[in-house]
Amino acid sequence: MTAQETIQVRVVKKQAEAEGIASFELARVDGAALPPFSAGSHIDVHLPSGLTRQYSLCNASHESHRYRIAVLRDAASRGGSVAMHDSVHEGDVITISTPRNHFALHPAQRTVLLAGGIGVTPLLCMADRLARTGADFALHYCTRSVERTAFASEIAASAMGPHVRFHFDAGAPEQKLDLAKVLAAPGAEKRLYVCGPAGFIDHVVGTAKAMGWAQDHIHLEYFGAPAQDTSGDQGFEVRIASTGKVYPIAADASVVEALRSQGIDILTACEQGVCGTCLTRVLEGEVDHRDMYLTDEEKAANEQFMPCCSRARGKLLVLDL
């Protein structure tokens, strides 16, 4: 697995977009055009602290002079969002990766976008693209309150505005999201995209499946993995196929951590099972999947896993390393 190509960019604008949310506009230091990207793409941001975090691009995908990301200051942050808010300022030069897309738009006669809070960021780019191409779509944007709703006035003034419905937890009952109504009448010609907190995504996906939406027409992207119950975790072993060497994985250590301590580095970024950076092929053994990246079908195939968070169901995993 090779490292993602990186670019030096300057923070040309940092702006408060809502309570607890700041946007960052990034441009190449050398003034050249940025690599193209498609709706749903994200970048890795290498923070001054040494952390790497993934953020969706929320500006229009035809723009090449800038990337824009938005970051929620998360009270439960592992350091990334706090660092973005407190340590990254206008004028700073930071390192980012080139864009990649695990959440791409598919052709459809009707597209339904469902955003929970800061999960709106990749869906904004999608909505802009759909509006520019004259597509039939709706974006339902759910937040706690008006004050916590980023880009509200910008959305209302844009071409996507007529397609967007805002839903506030603190608002009147009649404006709250009627999920059953939004997801009614599924069909082969429709696609559903959802992004936001894990609980929001699970509720939307569960409702969609119950109403007959096909699994392969439901597309989702988590921003963080839900907490795992690790009380029953047991140790196991990992064999490296290229050398035949076997390494113990303690009950309280990840595969990535254990191998790193032995001088074997696996490329990582989020270390939460969200971004897919550490995806590794499994040659033998049954995986206890704990990531938010692989589909149910990919997990059932048992051919690859995320060593940053997933474990073995048995005593041994043989990895293609």
Residue 244 is part of a domain; what is its CATH number?
3.10.20.30
10 Å Cβ neighbour count for 289?
21
Cα–Cα nearest to 138, from 126, 152, 146, 121: 126
CATH at 122:
3.40.50.80
Q: Is the pLDDT reported for residue 48 higher than 90? A: no
pLDDT tens, position by position, 65-75: 999 999 999 87
Same-domain status, 29 and 117: no
Asked if residue 105 belongs to a domain, the reply is no
Q: Measured between alpha carbons, how far is 293 from 274 in angstroms, rounded to an integer?
A: 5
CATH at 58:
2.40.30.10
Find residue 196's DSSP bridge partners: 222
Among 55, 75, 97, residue at a domain's last position? 97
Instruction: Determine the pLDDT at residue 77.
Output: 67
Same-domain status, 307 and 249: yes
Average the pLDDT over each of 55-59, 133-137, 228-232, 275-279 and give the range with the smallest value: 228-232
Instruction: Determine the pLDDT at residue 273.
Output: 84
Asked if residue 67 belongs to a domain, the reply is yes
Look up residue 83 and give its two tokens.
């660092």
Range of the domain at 296: 236-319
Instruction: Determine the pLDDT at residue 252.
Output: 93
Average the pLDDT over each of 22-36, 87-101, 218-232, 287-301 and give the range with the smallest value: 218-232
Q: Measured between alpha carbons, how far is 180 from 133 in angstroms, rounded to an integer?
A: 28
DSSP characters for 291-303? -SSS-HHHHHHTS
Instruction: Determine the pLDDT at residue 235.
Output: 96
Strands 304-305 and 280-284: antiparallel
Asked if residue 104 belongs to a domain, the reply is no
Same-domain status, 13 and 61: yes
Same-domain status, 188 and 242: no
Q: Is the pLDDT reported for residue 225 higher than 80? A: no
Q: Is the pLDDT reported for residue 1 higher than 60? A: no
Q: For residue 238, give the H/E element and its range.
A: strand 236-240
Percent of the chain with pLDDT strictly greater than 90? 79
Asked if residue 277 belongs to a domain, the reply is yes
Same-domain status, 77 and 118: no
Residues 162-171: what's their mean pLDDT?
95
Same-domain status, 88 and 117: no
Among 40, 71, 97, residue at a domain's last position? 97
pTM over 0.95: no
Q: Measured between alpha carbons, how far is 299 from 18 in angstroms, rounded to an integer?
A: 37
Among 97, 128, 161, residue at a domain's last position? 97
Residues 303-320: what's their mean pLDDT?
96
Q: Is the pLDDT reported for residue 13 higher than 70? A: yes
For residue 289, what pLDDT band results from cuts at 50, 70 and 90? Answer: very high
pLDDT tens, position by position, 231-280: 889 999 999 999 999 999 999 999 999 999 999 999 887 788 877 889 99
Please give the radius of gyration of the chain, using alpha carbons only, rounded to the nearest integer: 21
Sign of CA dihedral 33, 38, 39, 44: negative
Q: State the total domains in the chain.
A: 3
Q: Measured between alpha carbons, how far is 252 from 33 in angstroms, rounded to an integer?
A: 45
Asked if residue 228 belongs to a domain, the reply is no
Ramachandran bin of 229, using left for φ above 0, alpha for ψ from -120 to 50, beta for the remaining angles = beta
- Tell me how many degrees the CA angle 75-78-84 measures, rounded to the nearest 5: 75
Strands 93-97 and 110-116: unpaired
Note whether 305 and 282 are within 8 A (CB). Answer: yes
Same-domain status, 258 and 205: no
Look up residue 247 and give its two tokens.
């390494």
Asked if residue 89 belongs to a domain, the reply is yes
